[in-house]
Amino acid sequence: MFKQGFLKDVYEERPVTPVFTRFPPEPNGFLHIGHAKAIAVNFGFAKYRKGQCYLRYDDTNPEAEEEIYFTAILDTVRWLGFEPYKITYSSDNFQKLYDLAEKLISLDKGYVCHCDDAEIKRQRGGEKGETPRYRCKHAEQTVEENLQKFRDMRDGKYKPREAFLRMQMDITDGNPQMWDLAAYRVLDADHHRTGSKWKIYPTYDFTHCLCDSFEGITHSLCTTEFILSRVSYEWLNKTLGVYEPMQREYGRLSLGGTVLSKRKILKLVGDKIVRGWDDPRLYTLMAIKRRGVPPGAILEFVNELGVTTNATVIQIVRFEQSVRKYLERTVPRLMVVLDPVPVIIE
């Protein structure tokens, strides 16, 4: 039984029917135990409210994505017992996103920047925020200049890091997610679905809220690390005048005493410290599956923790205790003699 926790209050903020949610992984690695909570929350909440959940691949970074991850993610979602309402890709919307980027520029809310990382850091108050923030000088360019430069980016006239599109937000706001975030950057990489068609790719901050809007997501549920991003999420949809989903955040699930970071696991695999992403010593979902843990045990563990706004760091022993209790209740007990000795009774 799905325990909605604080999502009851979230639903009451927007009590619509049907509910539409989404699980939007980036296909740059295999899913881990923390993703099990995200899957359970998004699919579980939609089902509880008689709605549907999309599986959307956030495939806007062609340098890090591989086909094997796409397949593995879908297999894992289905192994956990969920079927996506629709399987979509952020890249399905590349043309729409580009058109909205031009609209943003036309509204004088987007500009092409040529600053390096050091200058951007200074604009944002320096290393420790000890100096006054100030807006990039490129924000003073005309709409016509910015449109032409953005089209030059699109046409491959700039190399990576020579130019990128920024959103003209509010550099004086106390929230760093309003400090003129990047919307598009130049990447010299072929995309797994669009090939070499695009020379520029949208960022997460530009893509995510708009794809939620395109798909009619009612409740965009993400972990609390994105709390600050809610302001920029709402700003962009409102500025462009598109449908506005509601973003709310729940506490993420982490396991203490192990590694869940995709980047760190990739290094462990590359250094041959572990034998692969399904090495039983890891806590990727494919490794847990290889250890013989049934999907029902994982979902029960996640459900026991509930859905709150607090981040949860659970020790491995508690996870193993939860699995053991599940197995004791669901698995038949059988006696077996491994090394039988024949005995003749007269």
Active site residues: 26, 252, 262
DSSP class of residue 191 equals B
- At residue 151, what is the residue type? R
| Longest CA span, the chain | 105
Q: Which of 207, 185, 14, 228 is nearest to 93 (CA)?
A: 207
Separation CA 277–CA 265 (nearest Å): 7
Which string of b and e fits 21-36 if b means at least 16 CB within 10 Å? bbbbbbbbbbbbbbbb
CA 129 to chain centre: 28
Q: Residue 287 is which amino acid? A: A
* Strand blocks (E) in the chain: 20-23, 52-57, 87-89, 110-113, 164-167, 182-186, 200-202, 219-223, 246-250, 253-256, 312-315
For 177, the enclosing helix (H) or strand (E) is none
Got the DSSP string for 198-240?
-SEEE-HHHHHHHHHHHTT-SEEEEEGGGTTHHHHHHHHHHHH
Residue 201's identity, in one-letter code, is Y
